[in-house]
Structure 1
């Protein structure tokens, strides 16, 4: 169903871009055929980038995944830019129908007003799309922002005042991001000197055999009270999730599979729990809040790791004090922010759902196009204080 919907959207995008940027800007003949063939080839490359790594494996995938995903971003912004220009095109239709070449231009007299307007719009849309994608590419591939966020917890014992939790999510090791990406994230997290690291899902897009060496620097994370991991939906895209969970534990991370543990500052306690992602239901590993929250110290605050913000509804029903999530990428590419915000209770940052605080990180990587527009990557360091 996902690929059917995505395929339909891509078909509409490319048909519209072809109409406005190829058919409307050229006369019948060789140039139109060449440009049409090039656009079709780019569509095929895009589909290969989306489907190929998942079906054929990651070996050799980067050579077509990079251009395919970059074209994905470009065609989206070409489509949007052309849509923005539609009112201008419609407003100028009476001028176009007069059929005379525009005055004071370098356009040959044989090129009519309609084609001049179409070409001008295509150039403007192309410039806007290239500018946005170029800026977004630089943002996505640059170092994540380190956000320092104070969080007050009413039941926090003073012994935990100043306790720092580094939250990172959506690293997305895969065909476009590898070992150097993880090394940078590990270095940046360690520089913040956190007490605890929470990796809240979507770490990998591939198997241990393909990405194990790239993930190896995770063993260098050095928080005082440990590194903890919960699954995201992408952990269930591989054929078997168990090898990754075993590999992460080998690298020194504690995987919370509907489980909890106690973080201690004698005699005080901080409850830490984690639930599987909702996608785990497809592998008979659904989130189980009752199991994850069983046996907690009743007077101590509870911090829950859950990949998707939408899981906060159940957390709030059970009196969780703070939920840490990712998944949204902060929207990653404007204007998709609005669609993500409609599907999740929060897009990014700190908010409150009933009596539960929810913190959502924008993530330290990207999925699909290596582009972030209006949603810079981040590593968040939450400092707990007593209310």
Structure 2
């Protein structure tokens, strides 16, 4: 059983430290040397926890504090680092999603249109007279009028060569590429090629070039710079699908559709620099918050408990007992970190209120009588008008319960072992802790409560709140308990609530009122964050 428990502890501790390594070392370091140093530190700290749990029970009592302080402080800091980093996963995810969305919605390059391509080509390769002449010759219909004298053809194309520049600096293209008509030419025997023909017509024969003009080049593949800045009006209205001007789709350098398509946006990325900055920022935030929580918790744990006044009404309470006060203290936890001075302070505080009765509801010690007998000795100075009483807690069964029962009785504090006593017409009962069942010393509610007068109120001392379920079946009016420490370190109280019906304060279980004190000490880490220690002064009143 111990081997299984040890294996579970190692797996849990190992998993937590792997997560801490990932967030505090891997996500925050850039150099190999820094990562190695951080990794070694995490491994050492992971081994500290099981070593502390083992050595704090096996070393001599005088030396246990040497390992208990650093080990339990790291246990508390580890817990809060884990909780804080898990909470910070929410903004981490939100920042990454926002960054990816921002990258995905970045402006995309504008599509390359024919006019834009014309402007770009015009700036790098200006249009020449030979290019304009070649376009005019290529678009002219093959009729007898196309055999006009070279001088007339040059005159017709000359304005294109002298066309003014557009606002962007590119030379404006002619508005219509149709061929000039000769006045003396007879009607064309055959119709010119329809501009809306779906198939590309064969390129016409190049006309003779007069001397003095440069020969046109690559008539079959006109330059992109020679295209008009916008398609002709008749081409747009007649639905030339895919044709730019009079250039058929698939002709020349503009046949590739990729020339007109937008460049695909880059894949959203979260670059390494931003990832490193985010990791370091969240690690610093987690470290500051966790260290602050542990620091505040240590201060509260080592400070004097709060004195809490808790009024409770009991329907059966005799009028003569109205205002009866019970000083309730639990979980003193004398051990390697809390000693005699801790007990003396508690006794001094209880005596200062002059209570009618004192109830110590378990978990007095974490060690043997030989180790902690001197630390518990101040309990003999407790003053209660109607006595001081004690019931066992689970930690007594880890520390030699029979020896402690005898020791506490010898200090003048009566141990109620599944029994009850009469106090001014009130039945005060006490049962052993449920942990005693493992050693044959468990609670016996029937022995403690059977045969009593049901008209009398009964107050039960039971270490764990979960025992209230059985108490309710026996008609208990009020149960006083401890054990939970109020969770000791928030948000651990949420886990405690899964096991115990009440974590702290006054509640009701099956018709039985249950009051749970947070306790005056601590177990394990010397930290009480969000659950300060207390000594409760319960005042009984009639309904």
Would you say same fold, with TM above 0.5? Answer: yes
Match status 1:259 vs 2:446: no
Q: Deviations over 1:205-247 (max 9, x none)?
A: 0000111111111111011111110011111112x31111111
Pick the structure with more strand per residue: 1
Q: Tell me which of 329, 340, 354 is aligned to 1:168.
A: 329
Match of 1:103 in 2: none
Distance 1:221 1:77, change over 3 A: same
Structure 1 unaligned residues grouped into runs of 5+: 100-109
Q: CA deviation at 1:57?
A: 4.6
- From the CA coordinates, give the structure whose radius of gyration is larger: 2
Match of 1:319 in 2: 475
Q: Deviations over 1:6-51 (max 9, x none)?
A: 3332222111001110122113533222222222222222222222
Q: Tell me which of 370, 383, 387 is aligned to 2:526.
A: 370
Contact 1:168 1:199 in 2 (8 A): yes
Alpha-carbon distance in 1 for matches of 2:492, 2:510: 26
Contact 2:57 2:64 in 1 (8 A): no
Contact 1:49 1:66 in 2 (8 A): no
Matches within 5 A, 1:44-193: 44-93=47-96, 95=99, 112-193=273-354
Q: CA deviation at 1:263?
A: 1.2
Match of 1:288 in 2: 444
Match status 1:20 vs 2:23: yes
Distance 1:121 1:7, change over 3 A: same
Distance 1:131 1:2, change over 3 A: same
Q: Deviations over 1:148-168 (max 9, x none)?
A: 111111111112111110001
Match status 1:221 vs 2:376: no
SS of equivalent residue, structure 1 residue 60: helix
Q: CA deviation at 1:3?
A: 4.0
Tell me how many residue pairs correspond in the alignment: 372
Match of 2:426 in 1: 270
Contact 2:344 2:378 in 1 (8 A): yes
Matches within 5 A, 1:353-364: 353-364=509-520
Q: CA deviation at 1:309?
A: 0.4
Q: Tell me which of 29, 32, 36 is aligned to 1:33.
A: 36
Alpha-carbon distance in 2 for matches of 1:84, 1:319: 44
Question: Cα RMSD over matched residues?
Answer: 2.0
Contact 2:312 2:541 in 1 (8 A): yes
* TM-score, L = length of structure 2: 0.66
Distance 1:97 1:349, change over 3 A: closer
Structure 2 unaligned residues grouped into runs of 5+: 104-270
Contact 1:179 1:214 in 2 (8 A): yes
Match of 2:462 in 1: 306
Q: CA deviation at 1:97?
A: 12
Alpha-carbon distance in 1 for matches of 2:102, 2:324: 72
Alpha-carbon distance in 1 for matches of 2:341, 2:101: 57
Alpha-carbon distance in 1 for matches of 2:7, 2:468: 30
Alpha-carbon distance in 1 for matches of 2:446, 2:512: 16
Alpha-carbon distance in 2 for matches of 1:168, 1:28: 54
SS of equivalent residue, structure 2 residue 61: coil
SS of equivalent residue, structure 1 residue 380: strand
Contact 1:18 1:39 in 2 (8 A): yes
Match of 2:173 in 1: none
Alpha-carbon distance in 2 for matches of 1:4, 1:336: 22
Alpha-carbon distance in 1 for matches of 2:93, 2:272: 19
Alpha-carbon distance in 1 for matches of 2:426, 2:5: 40
Alpha-carbon distance in 2 for matches of 1:314, 1:98: 60
Which protein has greater RCO, CA pairs closer than 8 Å, 6+ apart? 1
Alpha-carbon distance in 1 for matches of 2:343, 2:406: 18
Contact 1:96 1:113 in 2 (8 A): no
* TM-score, L = length of structure 1: 0.92
Q: Tell me which of 476, 489, 506 is aligned to 1:350.
A: 506
Alpha-carbon distance in 2 for matches of 1:298, 1:85: 55
Q: CA deviation at 1:277?
A: 0.4
Match status 1:246 vs 2:412: no
SS of equivalent residue, structure 2 residue 311: strand
Match status 1:195 vs 2:356: yes
Alpha-carbon distance in 1 for matches of 2:11, 2:480: 34
Match of 1:105 in 2: none
Contact 1:96 1:114 in 2 (8 A): no
SS of equivalent residue, structure 1 residue 91: helix
SS of equivalent residue, structure 1 residue 61: helix
Which stretch of structure 1 is more off in the superposition, 208-217 or 80-89?
80-89
